[in-house]
Amino acid sequence: MCKPIINHIQVRSILTKSNLPVGDYSVNPYIGCTHGCKYCYASFMKRFTGHTEQWGTFLDVKIWPEIKKTGKYSGKELFIGSVTDPYLPQEKIYERTRALLMQLKDSGAKISIATKSDLILRDLDLIKSFPDARVSWSINTLDDNFQRDMDQAVSIDRRLAAMKIFHQAGVRTTCFISPIFPGITDAQAIIQRAKAQCNLIWLENLNLRGSYKTVIMDYISEKYPHLLPLYREIYYNGNRSYWEMLDIKLKAFTAEIGLDYVTNDDSMKRPFEAPPVVVNYFYHEQIKKSARKDK
């Protein structure tokens, strides 16, 4: 991949009030993401930033005024990394995420960080200082070749190793199995691999829209042609039966290995020592309706 175009930009604030269910504030120390994930929903951000470059080839490094009166964020949920990875390789140089954490240290804010990186290990002690800190890693395959086809982030083994270290350090960790590629992602194998080193396992289906829909469909046509009819049925005809069947299959599988399987996120309240909870974030309403019909 070519060296990304990097600019520094001044912003009035790094904290944005959020409507997301996972936080009161959305925090993104960068604009753009050099992982260049082929399926990235965040590529829509180009509409608001004026970037015409291909997603994954640019990065804006945010510079903001030092956060004042940090106590007002006490008890507030801050989601760090909603539309970029806060631990991109460039974070090693610019340390914008570390600066954010240093400014908010002792504020009483609750933080949730989403990443595909193990650079976050650098800030383990700092993250531990926040109350109820949570860190999630996106892992949608155990196949190194497929991972390299999809993104430029660190290997799956490195992500899992970082997750284990955080979990052993007492930080709540999540294995985010997302996006699940029909016929490719082996969710059962990932659950087995991660279940001893995380508190939550989130499941999210591949949702194709915008410019990357064609990119993914072309990729499937080239690399997995036998799956093309399935993808056409799901993403052109709107057939959700694949997700409904996978929901049933994973519910049975998790029961077999002693894990709870839910479709809401009150699982955050469970004790740290409890086995991880598997949380389904597929098409909730449709699957719930289907389940009711089966009763």
Residue 151 has pLDDT above 50, yes or no: yes
pLDDT bucket at 240, cuts 50 / 70 / 90? very high
Residue 266 pLDDT greater than 70, yes or no: no
Q: What is the mean pLDDT of residues 218-244?
A: 97
What DSSP state is assigned to residue 236? T
Residue ranges of the domains in the chain?
1-132, 136-207+240-295
Burial of 161 (0-12, 13-18, 19+ CB in 10 A): middle
pLDDT, average across residues 8-24: 88
Nearest to 114 by CA among 134, 90, 144, 140: 134
Share of the chain above pLDDT 90, in %: 76
- How much is the pLDDT for 264? 64
Q: Which residue has the tokens 């082929």?
A: 38
- Poorest-pLDDT segment among 34-43, 146-155, 219-228, 242-251: 34-43
pLDDT of 126 > 70? The answer is yes
Host H or E run for residue 8: strand 5-10
Tell me which of 45 and 130 has the higher pLDDT.
130
pLDDT of residue 263: 78
Question: Do residues 200 and 267 lie in contact, with contact meaning Cβ atoms separated by under 8 Å?
Answer: yes
Is 27:49 a contact under the CB 8 Å cutoff?
no
pLDDT at residue 12 tops 90 = yes
What are the residues whose beta carbons fall under 8 Å from the beta carbon of 87, sequence distance 6 or more? 97, 113, 115, 117, 119, 120
Q: How confident is the model at residue 41 (pLDDT cuts 50, 70, 90)?
A: confident
pLDDT surpasses 60 at 141: yes
Burial of 44 (0-12, 13-18, 19+ CB in 10 A): middle
Which one-letter DSSP state was computed for residue 188?
A: H
Alpha carbon distance 58, 139 (integer Å)? 23
Edge-to-edge strand ranges of the sheet holding 30-31: 5-10, 58-63, 30-31
**287 falls in which pLDDT band (50, 70, 90)?**
very low
**pLDDT of 40:** 84
For 29, residues 6+ apart whose C-beta sits below 8 A from its C-beta are 14, 61, 62, 80, 84, 86, 91, 96, 97, 99, 100
Mean of pLDDT values over 20-36: 89
State the pLDDT at residue 270.
64
3-state per-residue secondary structure call for 28-67: CCEECCCCCCCCCHHHHHHHHHCCCCCCCCEEEEEECCCC
What pLDDT, on the 0 to 100 scale, is given for residue 170? 96
Give the model's confidence band at 291: pLDDT under 50 very low, under 70 low, under 90 confident, else very high: very low
Tell me: pLDDT of 139 over 90: yes
**50 pLDDT tier (thresholds 50, 70, 90):** low
- pLDDT > 80? residue 289: no
Kindly state the average pLDDT of the residues 26-35.
Answer: 94
DSSP at 205: E
Percent of the chain with pLDDT over 70: 87
Q: Kindly report the length of the chain.
A: 295
